[in-house]
Amino acid sequence: MSGTVLLRGTGITRRWGGLVAVDEVGIDLVQGEVHAVIGTNGAGKSTLINLLSGEIPLSAGRVELLGQDATAWSQPRRAQAGLGRSYQRNTIYPGFTVFENCRLAAQARHQKAWRWWQDAGRCADSTVAATLAMEKAGLSDLGSRAAGALSHGQKRQLEVAMCLATAPRVLLLDEPLAGMGAEETDRMLALLEALKSDHAILLVEHDMDAVFRAADRITVMVNGSVIASGAPDQVRNDPGVRAAYLGDASLETAA
């Protein structure tokens, strides 16, 4: 249902030795919304995603997924419960087709990836999930194309399709627009817009124009801490955010 909090992070903290990479961050991801997390390089955005997805353990804090305390859950358990993510770097298998990549992602949800060569042809569920994911991501026509032969933008779309193949309710997307041209960006933003009614989406992105076009809510991180969070207009006019981005005209041009 639109407006439902599907993922809630409270007091999320991660220390690397003396460095506090993520410092008591609170974040709600709500169905029907794209929630952008912005911040300069090293602000802690990817670490936050890794903490929410269960890839790395929290130093402190709590993660609630669909109303359940998921703090102690492993990454596969969180994935099974409906948490999907994409990575800052490409994670596709270039020698496999688009369809096969999606099917492998679907199978990974059921932790059968290691037996894919036995099960792939027989696993009807994964085939359906892969087909549906390609359809949603606008890749149906490219199913039999080798993933390595796709354009950069199509590869990023495939990353999202692979995430969708795991049938998530929450999508954590780490810079899905990186390196994209204008047309590819438009396509990806249209995809996020189409997906948000059924999903809660966290979007980490550096392109401020895209952020202000796509986001319903924006959280700004500096040195691991949240300095502002709210509606795009509220964040744009926040003095602390303007100070943190001083000398960066992107907030002006995104107006």
Ligand X SMILES: Nc1ncnc2c1ncn2[C@@H]1O[C@H](COP(=O)(O)OP(=O)(O)OP(=O)(O)O)[C@@H](O)[C@H]1O
DSSP-based three-state secondary structure for 44: coil
DSSP-based three-state secondary structure for 128: helix
Task: Report long-range pairs for 27-30 (Cβ below 8 Å, ≥24 apart).
Answer: 27/52, 27/202, 27/219, 27/226, 27/229, 29/5, 29/170, 29/200, 29/201, 29/202, 30/3, 30/4, 30/5, 30/6, 30/200, 30/217
| Strand bridging mode 170-174 / 200-204 | parallel
Among positions 93-132, residues that touch ligand X (CB under 6 A) are none
**176 in contact with ligand X (CB under 6 A):** no
For ligand X, which is the closer residue by CB, 44 or 153? 44
Among positions 13-52, residues that touch ligand X (CB under 6 A) are 16, 19, 21, 39, 41-47
Task: Name the residue with the smallest CB distance to Mg ion.
Answer: 46
Q: How far is the CB of 207 from ligand X (least distance, A)?
A: 12
* Distance (Å, whole) CA 23 – CA 248: 24
Among positions 26-45, residues that touch Mg ion (CB under 5 A) are 45
Please provide the DSSP assignment of 174-194 as one string: ESTTTT--HHHHHHHHHHHHH
Q: How far is the CB of 137 from Mg ion (least distance, A)?
A: 22
Q: How far is the CB of 175 from Mg ion (least distance, A)?
A: 7
For Mg ion, which is the closer residue by CB, 40 or 59? 40
From residue 58 to residue 97, what is the string marking binding to ligand X with x (rule CB under 6 A)? ------------------------------x---------
For Mg ion, which is the closer residue by CB, 10 or 88? 88
Among positions 221-250, residues that touch ligand X (CB under 6 A) are none
Q: Which of 31, 46, 166, 185 binds Mg ion (CB under 5 A)?
A: 46
For ligand X, which is the closer residue by CB, 46 or 86? 46
For ligand X, which is the closer residue by CB, 23 or 238? 23
Site size with ligand X, rule: CB under 6 A? 12
For ligand X, which is the closer residue by CB, 16 or 114? 16
For the chain, give the number of residues.
255
Query: What is the Cα Rg of the chain in Å?
Result: 18
Residue 161 neighbours by CB under 8 Å, 6+ apart: 98, 101, 102, 105, 133, 134, 136, 137, 139
- Cα-to-chain-centroid distance, residue 139: 18
* Distance (Å, whole) CA 9 – CA 138: 31
* Site residues for Mg ion per CB under 5 A: 45-46, 88
* Site residues for ligand X per CB under 6 A: 16, 19, 21, 39, 41-47, 88
